Amino acid sequence: MSTENEGTPVPADPAAPSAPPTPPAPPTPAAAPAGETASQEAPRPTPPTAPPSAPQEGEPTAVQPTVQAQPPAHTPAPAPAPAAAGGPAGGWPPPPPTVPAWGAPQQPVPAAPAAPRRRTGGLVAAVLVASLVAGGIGGGIGYWAAERGDNGVSSTTVSSGQAPASFKRDPGTVAAVAAKALPSVVTIQAKSGGQDGEGGTGTGFVYDQEGHIVTNNHVVASAADGGTLSVTFSEGKTYDAEVVGRAEGYDVAVLKLKNAPKGLTPLPLGDSDKVAVGDSTIAIGAPFGLSNTVTTGIVSAKNRPVASGDGSGGSSSYMSALQTDASINPGNSGGPLLDASGAVIGINSAIQSTSGGFGQSQAGSIGLGFAIPVNQAKNVAQQLIRTGKPVYPVIGATVNMQDKGQGATIATQGSGGTASVTPDGPAAKAGLKAGDVITGFDDHPIDSGPTLISEIWTHKPGDSVKITYERDGRTATATVVLGERTGDS
């Protein structure tokens, strides 16, 4: 018996009678010819009393058993039944074979023709659609089970308690560096004097075990005279603090914790002179008051001349800054800029705002942040801890702070009508005069007065530097031994 169409509905033959006649008695089966295998004997059918009803959609159709008559010996096999009228030749699916009249000899069923390749794309598309629908059903069932988990449906969600208990970050990863540095980074709350004093938030970091905290001057400037300062560590403990010293020009300040706890861990200091463009950076701070925020980036540039305000509308500060694209916002000021090893390479101090100015405006980060190189900040902090006052290197000449692009021009006169070149000062001893245009300082190009000051303040008093300048259209060089100025007055 052929299984070609098992389970597939077979259409009724139009030529077949509506009610089959009583079939004749089957002939006595003859012995199978030699070399042939006898097929399974079909049972004698019992004709139904009524014509079978048409199968319902979706129900399997039963195939009526038939009695196979014994063909005469040496009779050639009959030709396959022709395709149903109107069916496409060679189409898919092939037309079903014609159902023989009740009791007539059953003709062999021809093999189904192979599906043409031009329909393969349609079959593949159908499989994909089915897969997508199945996926949607699976999602719906998952949601249903989750909503009814109390009815005996077990959840497949793994609870956090089954996660590894001692997961460790590899050394050198951002997570490992941040975890080690965060306990040494503090959030600073500064409040000016008076009952209605205004306050601000900044960041600082532990400098030594005695409780000294390094930050920006503009973070604590409002509380420096009669205000209050408090410092909060990452675990939540808060301590009162006082100002040890401030350097407005460098924008560096040092605080001291009152009743400092034991076991403070200072952050290690790196070497900002050895930083390369492209090195990884990690900034930690309290942007907009969000303490213990960690952001990452790279060193975008070095030796950027930056002038920023101190937050009180007073003197500006100048730095030859490290530029980074790590996200820095108001509140990050005074926080550490770390390298990939966790060492401090700078103090985050200023951002470029969309308004076009440098400083701590309320604009968000646009990927242009600036940090004071730690080598300079370290020298300033040590000086403040020792004496409480900053010391600045100077060349003994007043330069024009407005002109840009042509160098730093020595003014015709100083403030208050004084001489622009200090008599017997470093510049005078090197032969510089009013009107000279300084274009280079220790092999760094100089395009303005702020750039010149930024470069001078990367050195110490007593350092010898080479200055390139122009006078009457000619270029000359001179060696200047830097002098010093104490305090911000």
Centre a 10 Å sphere on the Cβ of residue 16 and count the other Cβ atoms it contains.
Answer: 15
Which residue has tokens 């192979």?
114
What three-state secondary structure class fits 186?
strand
Residue 84: both structure tokens together: 């149903």
Pull the structure tokens for residue 132.
């997508």
For residue 457, count other CB atoms closer than 10 A to its CB.
Answer: 23
For residue 250, with 0-12 CB atoms within 10 Å meaning exposed, 13-18 middle and 19 or more buried, which class applies? buried
Helix (H, G, I), strand (E, B) or coil at 425: coil
The secondary structure element, H or E, covering residue 384 is: helix 374-387
Query: Which sequence positions are flagged as catalytic?
Result: 218, 251, 333
Residues 6+ apart with CB under 8 A from 278: 298, 299
98, two tokens: 């014609």
3-state helix, strand and coil shares in percent for the chain, rounded to the nearest 5:
20, 25, 55
Beta partners for 350? 370
Distance CA 465, CA 456 (A): 9
Residue 455 · residue 441 · CB < 8 Å: yes
Which strand (E) or helix (H) includes residue 480?
strand 474-481
Q: For residue 290, count other CB atoms closer than 10 A to its CB.
A: 13
For 76, the token pair is 């050639």
Six-digit token string for 446: 């100089």
Of all helices (H) and strands (E), which one includes residue 337? strand 336-338
Q: Which amino acid appears at position 161 of this protein?
A: G
User: 125 φ, ψ to 5°?
Assistant: -60, -40
Residue 346 carries which side chain, given as an amino acid letter?
A: G
